[in-house]
A and B are shown apart, each in its own frame.
Chain A
Amino acid sequence: MGEPLAGGGTRPGGDGRTIVETSGHAIRTPVIAASAVLPGLGHVIEGRRAQGLLLMAAWIATLAIALKSWQRIVAIPGTGSADDWLAILTLAAMLVGTCMAGTAGLVRGQRRAAGSSRFASEWRRFRRSRTAMAGLGVIVVLYALMLLTPLIAPFGPAERVGDLVRVRLLPPSAAHWLGTDRLGRDVLSRILYGARISLTIGFIATAISISVGTTLGAVAGYAGGRIDALLMRFTDLVLAFPRLILLIMIVALFGQSVVVIVLVLGLTQWPSTTRIVRGDVLSLREREFIQAARALGFRPARVLFCHIIPNVLGPVIVAATLGVGNTIVLEAGLSFLGLGPPPPTPTWGAMVEGGRDIMISSWWVATFPGLAIVIVVLAFNLAGDGLRDALDPRLR
Chain B
Amino acid sequence: MNGSIASRRPEPRTTPLLAVSDLSTVFDTDAGEVRAVDGVSFSVGSGETLGIVGESGCGKSVTSLSIMRLVPEPGRILDTGSIVFRGRDLLALAPESMRAVRGNDIAMIFQEPMTSLNPVHTVGRQIAESIRVHRGASRKVAWNQAVEMLRLVGIPAPERRAMDYPHQLSGGQRQRVMIAIALSCDPDLLIADEPTTALDVTIQAQILDLLSGLRQRLGMAMILVTHDLGIVAEVCDRVAVMYAGRIVEEGPVADLFDDPRHPYTQGLLRAIPRVDEAAGTLDPIPGQVPDPAHWPRGCRFNPRCRHAWDRCGRHEPGLLDVAWGRRSRCWLEQEPERRRSGYGVDTRDAPPTGPRIRGAS
Contact of A295 with B133 in the complex, beta carbons under 8 Å: no
Judge whether A292 is part of the interface by a CB distance below 8 angstroms. yes
Judge whether B119 is part of the interface by a CB distance below 8 angstroms. yes
Contact of B68 with A298 in the complex, beta carbons under 8 Å: no
Judge whether B278 is part of the interface by a CB distance below 8 angstroms. no
Contact of B120 with A287 in the complex, beta carbons under 8 Å: no
0 or 1 for each of B81-108: is its CB under 8 Å from A? (1 = yes): 0000000000000000011111110011
Judge whether B115 is part of the interface by a CB distance below 8 angstroms. yes
0 or 1 for each of A269-312: is its CB under 8 Å from B? (1 = yes): 00000000000000000111101111111110010001100110
Contact of A296 with B110 in the complex, beta carbons under 8 Å: no
Contact of A297 with B104 in the complex, beta carbons under 8 Å: yes
Residue of B nearest to A289 (CB): B118
- Whole-angstrom CA separation of A224 from B134 in the bound complex: 27
Within 8 A of A (CB), among B98-153: 98-104, 107-108, 110-112, 115-121, 129-130, 133-134
Residue of B nearest to A302 (CB): B133
Residue of A nearest to B112 (CB): A288
Contact of A297 among B72, B103, B111, B119 (CB under 8 A): B103
Judge whether B295 is part of the interface by a CB distance below 8 angstroms. no
Give the chain B neighbours of A313 by CB distance below 8 A.
120
Within 8 A of B (CB), among A328-371: none
0 or 1 for each of A219-235: is its CB under 8 Å from B? (1 = yes): 00000100000000000
- Whole-angstrom CA separation of A293 from B70 in the bound complex: 11
Contact of B116 among A288, A298, A310 (CB under 8 A): A288
Contact of B118 with A311 in the complex, beta carbons under 8 Å: yes
Contact of B168 among A116, A288, A298 (CB under 8 A): A116
Residue of B nearest to A290 (CB): B118
Judge whether B306 is part of the interface by a CB distance below 8 angstroms. no
Contact of A296 among B72, B103, B111 (CB under 8 A): B103
Given the interface pairs A116-B168, A297-B133, the reply to whether A289 lies near B117 with Cβ below 8 Å is yes
Give the chain B neighbours of A287 by CB distance below 8 A.
115
Give the chain A neighbours of B68 by CB distance below 8 A.
295
Residue of A nearest to B64 (CB): A295
- Whole-angstrom CA separation of A296 from B184 in the bound complex: 10
Given the interface pairs A297-B101, A297-B102, the reply to whether A307 lies near B133 with Cβ below 8 Å is no
Interface residues on A, range: 20 to 34
0 or 1 for each of B180-219: is its CB under 8 Å from A? (1 = yes): 0100000000000000000000000000000000000000
Closest CB of chain B to A294's CB: distance in Å? 6
Residue pairs across A and B with CB atoms within 8 Å: the count is 73
- Whole-angstrom CA separation of A306 from B130 in the bound complex: 12
- Whole-angstrom CA separation of A294 from B102 in the bound complex: 8
Contact of B112 with A298 in the complex, beta carbons under 8 Å: no
Judge whether B167 is part of the interface by a CB distance below 8 angstroms. yes
Contact of A296 with B133 in the complex, beta carbons under 8 Å: yes
Contact of A295 with B103 in the complex, beta carbons under 8 Å: yes
Interface residues in B, total, Cβ within 8 A: 33
Closest CB of chain A to B118's CB: distance in Å? 5
- Whole-angstrom CA separation of A296 from B99 in the bound complex: 8
- Whole-angstrom CA separation of A311 from B115 in the bound complex: 13
Give the chain B neighbours of A289 by CB distance below 8 A.
115-119
- Whole-angstrom CA separation of A244 from B167 in the bound complex: 45
0 or 1 for each of A100-135: is its CB under 8 Å from B? (1 = yes): 000000000000000011100000000000000000
Looking at A288, A289, A307, A310, the one whose CB has the most chain B CB atoms below 10 A away is A289
Give the chain B neighbours of A296 by CB distance below 8 A.
102-103, 107, 129-130, 133, 181
Judge whether B165 is part of the interface by a CB distance below 8 angstroms. yes
Closest CB of chain A to B169's CB: distance in Å? 11
Contact of B108 with A297 in the complex, beta carbons under 8 Å: no
Closest CB of chain B to A12's CB: distance in Å? 20
Residue of A nearest to B101 (CB): A297
Given the interface pairs A118-B120, A307-B118, the reply to whether A298 lies near B110 with Cβ below 8 Å is no
Within 8 A of A (CB), among B326-340: none
Given the interface pairs A295-B70, A296-B181, A297-B102, the reply to whether A116 lies near B165 with Cβ below 8 Å is yes
Closest CB of chain B to A264's CB: distance in Å? 33
Contact of A310 with B120 in the complex, beta carbons under 8 Å: yes
- Whole-angstrom CA separation of A175 from B142 in the bound complex: 64
Give the chain A neighbours of B165 by CB distance below 8 A.
116-118
- Whole-angstrom CA separation of A276 from B165 in the bound complex: 25
- Whole-angstrom CA separation of A313 from B116 in the bound complex: 19
Contact of B104 with A306 in the complex, beta carbons under 8 Å: no
Contact of B110 with A288 in the complex, beta carbons under 8 Å: yes
Contact of B120 with A297 in the complex, beta carbons under 8 Å: no
- Whole-angstrom CA separation of A311 from B101 in the bound complex: 27
Contact of B99 with A299 in the complex, beta carbons under 8 Å: yes
Give the chain A neighbours of B168 by CB distance below 8 A.
116
Given the interface pairs A296-B130, A297-B133, the reply to whether A291 lies near B101 with Cβ below 8 Å is no
Residue of B nearest to A298 (CB): B133
Contact of B70 with A294 in the complex, beta carbons under 8 Å: yes
- Whole-angstrom CA separation of A310 from B104 in the bound complex: 25
Contact of B167 with A118 in the complex, beta carbons under 8 Å: yes
Contact of B99 among A224, A298, A307, A311 (CB under 8 A): A298
Closest CB of chain A to B168's CB: distance in Å? 6
6 contacts between A and B (CB under 8 A): A289-B117, A289-B118, A292-B116, A293-B118, A296-B181, A311-B120
Residues of A within 8 A of B (CB): 116-118, 224, 286-289, 291-299, 302, 306-307, 310-311, 313
Give 13 new A-B contacts, CB below 8 A, not counting A116-B168, A295-B70, A307-B118: A291-B110, A292-B117, A293-B118, A295-B102, A296-B107, A296-B130, A297-B102, A298-B103, A298-B129, A298-B133, A306-B129, A307-B121, A310-B120
